[in-house]
Structure 1
Amino acid sequence: MIDFYTAGTGNGRRPALMLEECGVAYTTHKLDLMKGEGRSPEFLKINPIGAIPAIVDHDGGKDVAIAQSGAILLYLAEKTGKFLPKDAATKAAHLQWMLFALTDIAPTSSAIFYSSTKLKDQAAQTFFEERLLGFLGHADQRLGQSDYLAGEYGLADMALYPVYDGRRALVEAKGGMADLKRWADAVGSRPAVKRAMAVV
C-alpha cells in the first residue's frame, strides 16, 4: 500500500496517473496548501521541503518516502516494470521527453500562475504564456511524427498531460497544435487517466 500526498496542481496530479495506470493500491491524502498543511510537522517528516507530491511506500518491510513527481514516476516504473522500456535507446527517448515536460514546460506553467496571481505582472505573464506555447509547439511537432511523445505511451505522456490539461484554454485561444490536441484527447480518454484526474 502507498500513501499519496497531493493537492490540485499539475505536479500533484502527475503521480496519480502513474498509480492508476500501474494498478498500484494507494490511499490519497489531499493537503490544503493555502492552510499550510504542507508545512505540518507530520508532512515535513515525509518531505522536508514541504512540497507536494510525495508518497510513502509501505511494501517490502521498510517504509520508503519519495518526493518530486518525476522521482515518483521513475520509482513506480522501476517498482512495477511498466511504462519505461528496458532498451537503452527507447528508454532514453522516454526520459528525454519526460524531462522536457518536467524541467521546461511545468516550471513555465508555474511561472504563469505566479506572475498572474502573486506578482500581478501582466508583462511577465504574457512572456511566460508565449514561452509555454513555444514549448508546447515543440511537443506538437513531435506528436506529428508519433502517437505519443516517446513513440509508445509512457512516463513522458504522464508527465506532460496534467500541465496541458491545466493550460487547455491557453492552447485553445492560440489555435493550431492539432497533433497536441489529438494526443491530449487520446491520453485523456484512457480510463486510468480519467480516474487519476478525478482523484485530486
Structure 2
Amino acid sequence: MIDLYAWRTTNGLRATIALAECGLPHRVIPIDVGAGAHKAPEYLRINPAGQIPAMVDPDGPGARPLLLAQSGAIVLYACRKAGRFIPDDAQSQALAMQWAWQAGTDIGGTSAAMNQVEVVSPEKVQAHIDLFRKRFLRYFGIVEAHLAGRDYLAGAISYADFILYPNYALRRHLLEPAAYPALTTWAARMAARPGVTSGMRLHTEAAQ
C-alpha cells in the first residue's frame, strides 16, 4: 500500500490523480498546508523540504522501500510502475514530456505566483495580479491551440494530462468556455474519468 501525503493544491492533486488513474493501491493522507501541517516534525521526517506531495512506497524498485517527493516525479513513477499512460512511440513521448513540463513549470509556476500576489502577500498590488493573470491566460491560449483537433495533449491520454488538469480545475473561473472551447472539451473528458474524479476528492469534497 502506497502512502501519499498531499493537499488540495495543483501539485498535490496531480499526484492523487495519477495514483488513482494507475489503479495502484494507495491511501491519501491529507497534509493541511494552510494549518502548517507540512512543517510538523513528523512530516519533515518524511520530506525535509516541508513540501507536498510526498510518497512512501514500501514495495519500491528492487522490492525496497522508496520515499519520493516532487509531484512530477511521483506522477511518472506511478505511471511507470503501473505500465500505463506513457506513450509507446518516440514522437508521442516527446509531446508528453513537452506538455508535462509546460504544465508543471510555466503554467504551474504562474499559478503559484498568482496565489502569492492574490492571497499570501499582505499587500495586494493590482498591477502584479493583472500581470500574472495575463501570463496565465496566455499559456492556456497555447494549450487551447494545441488541443484543437486532439483529444489529449499527446494524442492518447498520458501523464501530461494528469499534470495539467488540476491547473485548469482550480482556476476554471478564469477560463471562459467560449474563449477556450477545445480546452473546455478536454477538461470535460478528463472530469468524466473515474480516476480523475477520485483523485480530485481532496478539492471537490472541501468545496461542498
Tell me if both proteins adopt one fold, taking TM over 0.5 as the criterion.
yes
Secondary structure of the residue aligned to 2:56 is: strand
The aligned counterpart of 1:52 is: 52
Secondary structure of the residue aligned to 1:47 is: coil
The aligned counterpart of 1:123 is: 127
- For residue 84 of structure 1, report the CA deviation from its aligned partner: 0.6
Equivalent AA in structure 1 for residue 102 of structure 2: F
Whole-angstrom CA distance in 2 between matches of 1:71 and 1:137:
26
Structure 1 unaligned segments of length 5 or more: list them. Answer: none
The aligned counterpart of 1:186 is: 189
The aligned counterpart of 2:94 is: 92
Percent of aligned pairs sharing the same letter: 41
Whole-angstrom CA distance in 1 between matches of 2:57 and 2:158:
21
In structure 2, relative to structure 1, the CA distance for the partners of 1:182 and 1:16 (3 Å cut) is same
What does the per-residue CA deviation read over 1:87-127, in whole Å, with 9 as the maximum and x for residues that have no partner?
Answer: 33221111111110001001101111111112222111111
Whole-angstrom CA distance in 1 between matches of 2:119 and 2:18:
30
- TM-score under structure 2 length normalisation: 0.91
The aligned counterpart of 1:78 is: 80
Secondary structure of the residue aligned to 2:105 is: helix
From 80, 90, 103, the equivalent of 1:101 is 103
1:160 aligns with 2:164: yes
The aligned counterpart of 2:147 is: 143
Task: State whether residues 31 and 38 of structure 2, in contact with CA within 8 Å, keep that contact through their aligned partners in structure 1.
Answer: yes
From 64, 67, 74, the equivalent of 2:66 is 64
Secondary structure of the residue aligned to 1:161 is: helix
Secondary structure of the residue aligned to 2:87 is: coil
- For residue 37 of structure 1, report the CA deviation from its aligned partner: 1.2
- For residue 35 of structure 1, report the CA deviation from its aligned partner: 2.4
1:25 aligns with 2:29: no
Which moves more between the two structures, 133-142 or 56-65? 56-65
* Number of residues of Structure 1 aligned to a counterpart in Structure 2: 199
Which moves more between the two structures, 98-107 or 56-65? 56-65
Whole-angstrom CA distance in 2 between matches of 1:183 and 1:35:
34
Whole-angstrom CA distance in 1 between matches of 2:119 and 2:195:
32
- TM-score under structure 1 length normalisation: 0.95
The aligned counterpart of 2:14 is: 14
Task: State whether residues 7 and 202 of structure 2, in contact with CA within 8 Å, keep that contact through their aligned partners in structure 1.
Answer: no
The aligned counterpart of 2:137 is: 133
- For residue 198 of structure 1, report the CA deviation from its aligned partner: 1.2
Which moves more between the two structures, 56-65 or 161-170? 56-65
Which moves more between the two structures, 30-39 or 92-101? 30-39
- What is the RMSD computed on CA atoms of the aligned residues? 1.4
Equivalent AA in structure 2 for residue 59 of structure 1: D
What does the per-residue CA deviation read over 1:34-63, in whole Å, with 9 as the maximum and x for residues that have no partner?
Answer: 222111222112211100011100115422
- For residue 175 of structure 1, report the CA deviation from its aligned partner: 4.3
1:114 aligns with 2:116: yes
- For residue 86 of structure 1, report the CA deviation from its aligned partner: 3.5
